[in-house]
Structure 1
Amino acid sequence: MPIVKRTRPTLTVIEGSPPDLAGLAGELEAGEAARRRAAVRALANHPDPRGLDLIWERLERETAPSVRALMFTSFAEHRSVSVADRLARLLDSSDAMLRSAASEALQAMPAEAEPVLDRLLATDDADLRIFAVRILAQTAHAGAPRRLVEVLRRDDHINVCAAAVDGLVEIGTREALPVLADAATRFRGNPFMAFAVETAIHRIEGR
């Protein structure tokens, strides 16, 4: 197999000035993934906030996993409610990899994601509510167990409630026990839910 000579990514920088945004935008369209990664790094660290916007604009057209991963790392490093909101919009994407990466990035910013997840939990779309529940269950936010209890108490969609029960298995406190007992009654005709609720109760009681 012939050796392919790698060309190092180059960015034109005027000494003492940040790289030109237009030039970096062009590098995001380069054929080599290494050049696109270099552009993402430069844009993520650019003093002009439009640098991050350029990464967002490229995201859904980016096909290289390594470049996409760096993009999501950049979003997580610039955590804010605005970033969390944009990540949440990707949960409705037809691209499973984008949905998964957005979910992981939201898990990494529990405080910033809190108002965004609250909004998702109130949406009519059950799939988005399930995403929000699963993200909550994986965050380190102190209020996550209480929110899962509230979801289980008020949501009437069995799959959303099942996701909440799964989350409570991992992070539930004794506060959840009365609501789990109520769920066992509500869903007593569903063997899967009956088993899931029983598992959650036993796990919490054993802590």
Structure 2
Amino acid sequence: MALVKPRKPVEPIPTEDGGDPLLRLEDADPARRRAAAHALGGRADAVDALAKRLPREQDASVREALLTALVLTGTADAARSILPLLASEDVGLRNGVIESLQQMPAAVVMPEVAPLLRSDDPDLRIFAAQLIGRLAHPDRLPSLIGVLERDPEVNVCLAAVEALMEIGRPDALPALERLATRFPDDPFVAFSVDAARRLFSGP
């Protein structure tokens, strides 16, 4: 693994009242929390605080500002910090995390998301497959094909099928055909593979 050059410490960016915005993330006033999150975009030293605030934040506009700040930072640490929130029962938060990861550089996000395809939690594997399908990364096709060939859960495989259809790569068709033989009695697999066959094979 290549060595990463240490980042130069980032000086705190003052808020309007002259304080460090890191200290304002816990302010009782949502307007101050929102302003603090905006001020922290791009600050590597703020990633942990921003991510920890997210699951506790109830104000939608502040939550959006927190995610935007992490997207602007765009580092592997930023991506890694919000991946656990994919397991959140809060659908809005989970969708916000997925959308935010899509906006980060694919080269940064893919190495962090790909290991989730081996998670013990099938829901996490589904979210990972959906997200990988939306990343403009050269490894997304082999990663999704690997799901079709190895994942024991049919719903995870169906998520990968949907992602592959959205990508529109005909070279995925042989793997889709093999999926039909893995789950020969599942009508959803048969329907999905047939739809993919029509899409990739043309009229």
TM, length-normalised to structure 1: 0.82
- 1:61 equivalent in structure 2: 56
- Are residue 38 (structure 1) and residue 31 (structure 2) matched? no
- The amino acid of 2:163's aligned partner reads G
1:11, distance to aligned residue in structure 2 (A) = 2.4
- 5+ residue gaps in structure 2? 1-14
- 5+ residue gaps in structure 1? 1-9, 14-19
- 1:143 equivalent in structure 2: 139
C-alpha distance after superposition, 1:104-148 (max 9, x if no partner): 111222211111122101122111111100001122223322321
| Alignment counterpart, residue 121 of structure 2, candidates 121, 125, 131 | 125
Q: Secondary structure at the match of 2:184?
A: coil
The percent of aligned pairs where both chains have the same amino acid is: 40
CA distance in 1, matches of 2:148, 2:71: 29
CA distance in 2, matches of 1:150, 1:176: 11
- Are residue 203 (structure 1) and residue 176 (structure 2) matched? no
- The amino acid of 2:52's aligned partner reads E
- The amino acid of 1:78's aligned partner reads T
1:198, distance to aligned residue in structure 2 (A) = 0.7
Query: What is the Cα-based RMSD across aligned positions, in Å?
Result: 1.9
- 2:17 equivalent in structure 1: 12
Pairwise mapping of residues 90-101 of structure 1 onto structure 2 (< 5 A)? 90-101=85-96
- 1:7 equivalent in structure 2: none
The higher radius of gyration belongs to: 1
Pairwise mapping of residues 66-105 of structure 1 onto structure 2 (< 5 A)? 66-105=61-100
CA distance in 1, matches of 2:23, 2:160: 44
Pairwise mapping of residues 132-171 of structure 1 onto structure 2 (< 5 A)? 132-171=128-167
**Number of aligned residues:** 188
CA distance in 2, matches of 1:200, 1:35: 49
